[in-house]
Homo-oligomer: A and B are copies of this chain.
Amino acid sequence: MKKLRIGLFGFGVVGTGLYDVIHKTKGIHAKIVKICVKHRDKARPIPMDFFTFDKNDILNDDSLDVVVELIDNADEAFDIVSAAMKKGKAVVSANKRMIAENFHELYELQKKHNAPFLYEASACGSIPIIRNLEEYYDNDLLTSLEGICNGTTNYILTKTSEEKISYADALKGAQQSGFAESDPTLDVKAFDAKFKLTILLTHTFGIFVKHNEIFNFGIQNLSVEDSTFAKEKGVRIKLIAHTFSANGKILAYVMPKFIHKGDMFYDVRNEFNAVQLEASFSDKQFFYGKGAGSHPTASAVLSDLAALMYDYHYEYKKYNQRLESNNKANGTTFTNDQLLNVYLRYSDEKLLKDLQFAEIDQQYFSHNFKYVIGKVSVAKLLEHKLNDRDDVFVVRY
């Protein structure tokens, strides 16, 4: 069993949590030796000898065999992670954006430099979903993965559905309680959830998809009318990342969905996350746990470190099986060409026309509230940039 010597990048919420968790865990043979941070004058809770401000102090130190990357900036993170892998170091990261933006390259780097790269903390925090997809569901034929992958939006949606408050007030409350950042764009517009989905998709179906090919629609336009509509129907609105296979094609998108009582997602409240898998033989599988926070995220990083002690690495079996069979006709390609049942609140009739609904089952309009319920293709939602408009709200029905 290896003893790990760690160079850590970033010492924010998760970094300090990790420091704490490593020191309170008996079974882990790992030591944080050096920590690279940005701000020279920030007060630190541990002695200053640990810290450096030069990334090369870690990258060029051959005595450090593991780099843990926990910084915010995705570009800087990629520089650090790829440099570390080129040096043959094992890398653990929680940076979903960085991974989603460079996923295939990171896969190639692992192969080329024989450097394990683990990132359980990048998707759904404490839920061991990547490891399960990678290790346990490799031969059970998965057909679908749905997840509440973003704690911020789930916290806001819990408030708007259970208390009579508007989206704007719920967002303000979330910011005050530390559940939303001062700039919440990545969360509320469902980019964060999409980055996670991009990662989960590869481990579910064994294909790499560029995140900008995946449709995302957030909760930023949620109106009182939308909330009232949901309440009248007895359903809750949740932001759900979804990937599934249909007719040999893979689909994926993130958008709000109406969740019925009795559905396991219904009681996933506040900052909790959840993932539901469907497989040909094991039927539905549901995982639930804290999606964010210092210790829950650190515990996912810790489990990656524990795995490194045993020389674990992701094998990307499904991707490799797909490459081996090398038969795309028989295999799976990504598509947005699929009809979805949606509720669409809109104001602009031209948009409705442009979206070319294949079927409209219900239509309602009053002076200030118009919606349709019907079938529309994901490709059209993406093409017409629904997430950039402020006059629509679309929900899987």
Contacts and interface: CB of A to CB of B under 8 A. Distances in A.
Interface of A: 17, 21, 24-28, 126-128, 131-132, 135-141, 262, 264, 266-267, 269, 279-290, 293, 295-296, 298-300, 302-303, 305-307, 310, 315, 317-318, 321
A25 B282 contact: no
**Closest 7 pairs between A and B when the two form their complex, measured CB to CB:** A286-B288, A281-B299, A126-B282, A282-B299, A139-B306, A281-B295, A285-B289
B21 A281 contact: yes
A183 B24 CA distance: 48
Given A138-B303, A140-B303, A266-B267, 4 more contacts: A281-B296, A283-B289, A284-B288, A288-B288
Nearest to A261: B267
29 contacts: A17-B281, A25-B139, A25-B140, A26-B321, A27-B139, A127-B285, A128-B132, A128-B136, A131-B136, A132-B132, A135-B307, A136-B303, A138-B303, A138-B306, A139-B302, A139-B305, A139-B306, A262-B269, A267-B267, A279-B299, A281-B296, A281-B299, A282-B290, A282-B299, A282-B300, A284-B290, A285-B287, A285-B288, A287-B288
Given A284-B289, A290-B284, A27 B303 contact: no
Contact of A283 (B126, B286, B287): B126
